[in-house]
Structure 1
Amino acid sequence: MPVTGEQVMPFADIVRKGDAERLWTGQSLLIEPHSALAHAAGAGARIPMGTSVALMPLRHPLQAALQARSLAALTGQPFVAGFGTGPEPFVRSLRAQGYTSPLTAVREYTTIVRDLLAGDMVGLAGEYFAMGGALPPMKTPPVEVGLGVLRPRMAELAGELADVAITWLAPPHYLAETIVPALARGAERAGRPRPRVAAVVHVSLDGPQRDHENTVLAAVQAHLQAPHYADMLGRAGIDVDLQDLRRTATRLIGTGTAAVGGADDILRAVTAYREAGADEVVLSTIGMQALEGTHASLDALGALIAAQRSVR
C-alpha cells in the first residue's frame, strides 16, 4: 500500500515502457487507490490500470462507476474496475450488519455499476443497494467491470455479469477445474461471452537470506485467516493450518499457487496459470514489499522482465 504518490511511479513506468500490460492496485486504507492511480495519470502515466479489488461497502455504485470512468478519461486507456465484498467483519463495521446474501449484494452492485457505465438510466431498489438515475454522457476508453471470485457460485455470477473475473490465491488446478467451468456456465446462462480471467499470483524471487515461506506469508497471512479463503483453499485440496500458517505457505508454494524461486521458476508458474485459463497474470510482490521495501519489489520485477525478454 503506497504512502506517497511518488512510490507508485516506478511501477507505473514498467507498464509505460511496455514491459507489462497493466498497473494493478488493491484496496488501501492509506492512500485511496483511485487517488493513487489518478496521481500516476497526472504525473504522465497514461497506461491501462485496474483495481483488484475495490471493496463495495466503501463506495456507492454511482461513485464506483464515476471513479472508474474518471480514470479511463484521465489515462486515455481502458480501466478494469474490480470489486469485491470484503471480509464479513469489515462489512459489518461499515453497515452495522453483514451481507446476508453476498451474491445478492454483488449482483445488485455490479448491475448498477455496469448499467451506469453503459449510459443507461438505472432504476433499482435492491436489498442492499439502490439507484435511480444516470451518469451524464461522456466518451471515454472502455471500462471493464471485474469481480473477485473464489468459489463456484460467485464465479457463475461473474460469468453472468462481469467482463473480468479476478482470482486471488486460487491454485492453477482449481482455476482450470472449478473457476473457469463455473464462469462458462454463468456466461452460457446469460448468453454472453465468458469473462476474461485475471489471476493475482504472489511471487518471491531468490535473493540473499530471503525466506520464501515468510515472504508468501507476509502477503497472505490475513487472507488465510478469513473463512472464505480457507474454504476455497480447502476445496482446492490445500488445508489451512491456523496453528501453523508457515506450513500452509509451504503448501501454497508446493502447489504452484505462489510462484517462488529463480526467474525461470516464476515464469514457469506464470505459464501454468495461463495454461489453466488465466488471460492475464498479475505479479504481486506484496510479500517482498512488506518485508524488504520497494527496492526489493522493483529488483524482482526487473529480473523477471529480463528473463521474459530472453525467451521471446
Structure 2
Amino acid sequence: MHYSVLMPFVPRRPEQILTYAALVEWTAAHRLWQGQSVLVEPFQGFASVAGAGFRVPTGLGVTLMPLRHPYEAVNQIKTLAMSTGETVVAGFGPGPRAFQEMLLGAPYRSQLTAVREYLTIVRGLLGNELVDVKGEYYSCRAQMPSAMSPQVDLGLGVLRPGMARLAGEIADVAITWLTPAAYLEELLCPAMRQGAESAGRAVPRLTAIVPVALARPDRDVTDFVLASNTMHMRAPHYIDMLAKAGIDISGLEMPEAARLLAEKEVFVYGDVDQVIDQFQKYRRAGVDEIVLNMTGVCNLYGAKEALNDLKTLLVALGQGVEGTSWTKS
C-alpha cells in the first residue's frame, strides 16, 4: 500500500506548495495531492512548483466538473503531466448539488449520467480519439493533438455505491474522502467489482484520503474532527454516506457528531503505533493508497506542525529517513 501527502491547506501563493512537494520529492511518499481550490487552482499551482524544480507525481482529488468543459479539463491535465514530467491522477466529481446550481443554474438531474458523459469525453480525448458525444449534460466533437506525456490516470470521486459501480466501469482510480475502512470493504469495494465485471475490465485502484492526527498530551481528537470536517458533516451527501456506513449524525449537534466520527475511527487518531494499526484496516479493506490528510492539525496548530506530523508518520511507515535529509527508498 502506498502513502501519499495531501496539501493540508488551500495555498494562496504557489510557493506555499514547495515544502510539501519537497517532502514528496525526498521521501518515499507516493504522490502530492490537492483538492479543488478557487484560490491557487491546483493545475496551475502544481505546474508552478514544477517550474521551481520540484517535479513530483500529482493527484487532483477531486476537480469539480461544473468548473470546466471536459476539453478544457484535458488541456489542463496534459499541461500538468508535460510540465511535471511525472504521472498524474486526474480525479473528477460533480460537487455538491448547491454548487452545481450556483454555476449551472440547476443541479444535474442525474449525477451518474453527468459523470458518465464527462469522463467518457475526457478518456477519449486523453486517448487522442476523435470524440463524438452528444449528451444530456456534456457534448463534444473534437480530438486533442497527439503528444508524448507521462501516464495520466482517470479518477472519480466516490462516496456511495452507485458512484462506486460507475468507477468500476469507467475510472482508473476511485478516490474517497471521510469513508470508514469497514464501509469501503463492505459496500464500496463490492460495488466497484460489480461495475468492473459488467464492463469486462480490471477493478480500479482505490485511493482513500484519510483525516489523521497524532495524539499529544494537549490534543483532543474532537477538536481535530471539527477543524477538518465540519463542512462535510453538514453536507447531505456526506450525511447519507455516513448513515450507509452505520454512523447516523443527522440529528446530532456538531460536537457530539464529531465525537461519534472519532469513536467510529472515521478520523484516525492516536500515537504512531495506533495510527499504523488503523491504517492496516484500510489495507485489508482493499485500499491501494492512503493519502495523509493533516488538515485538522494545520487548522489548529499551523502548517509547520502539520509538516512535523507528516514527517513523523512517513518515517514510522518506512517512507522516509529520520532527520532533515530524506532519501527515496
TM over 0.5: yes
Residue correspondence of structure 1 range 44-193 to structure 2 within 5 A: 44-193=53-202
Post-superposition shift, 1:297?
1.0
For residues 242 and 210 of structure 1, what CA distance do their matches in structure 2 show? 26
Q: Is the 8 A contact 1:200 1:284 kept in 2?
A: yes
Q: Is the 8 A contact 2:178 2:209 kept in 1?
A: yes
Q: Is the 8 A contact 1:160 1:187 kept in 2?
A: yes
Tell me the alpha carbon deviations over residues 87-136 of structure 1, each in whole angstroms, 9 at most, x when there is no partner: 11111000010001000000000000011001101111111111111111
In terms of mean alpha carbon deviation, does 50-59 or 248-257 score higher? 248-257
For residues 6 and 267 of structure 1, what CA distance do their matches in structure 2 show? 31
The residue matched to 2:290 in structure 1 has which SS? Answer: strand
Tell me the alpha carbon deviations over residues 219-272 of structure 1, each in whole angstroms, 9 at most, x when there is no partner: 111111111111110010001145422222222222222111112221222111
The aligned counterpart of 2:219 is 210
AA in 2 matched with 1:94: L
Q: State the aligned residue count.
A: 312
The aligned counterpart of 2:256 is 247
CA RMSD for the aligned pairs?
A: 1.5
From 254, 278, 281, the counterpart of 2:287: 278
The aligned counterpart of 1:29 is 38
AA in 2 matched with 1:149: V
With structure 2 as the length reference, what TM-score do the two structures score? 0.92
Higher RCO (CA < 8 A, seq sep 6+)? 2
Unaligned runs of 5+ in 2: 1-9, 321-328
Post-superposition shift, 1:47?
1.1
Q: Is the 8 A contact 1:225 1:242 kept in 2?
A: no
Unaligned runs of 5+ in 1: none
For residues 152 and 319 of structure 2, what CA distance do their matches in structure 1 show? 33
Post-superposition shift, 1:77?
1.1
AA in 2 matched with 1:71: L
AA in 1 matched with 2:283: R
In terms of mean alpha carbon deviation, does 46-55 or 240-249 score higher? 240-249
Tell me the alpha carbon deviations over residues 44-78 of structure 1, each in whole angstroms, 9 at most, x when there is no partner: 12111000000000011111111111111111111
For residues 252 and 169 of structure 2, what CA distance do their matches in structure 1 show? 38
Q: Is the 8 A contact 1:241 1:247 kept in 2?
A: no
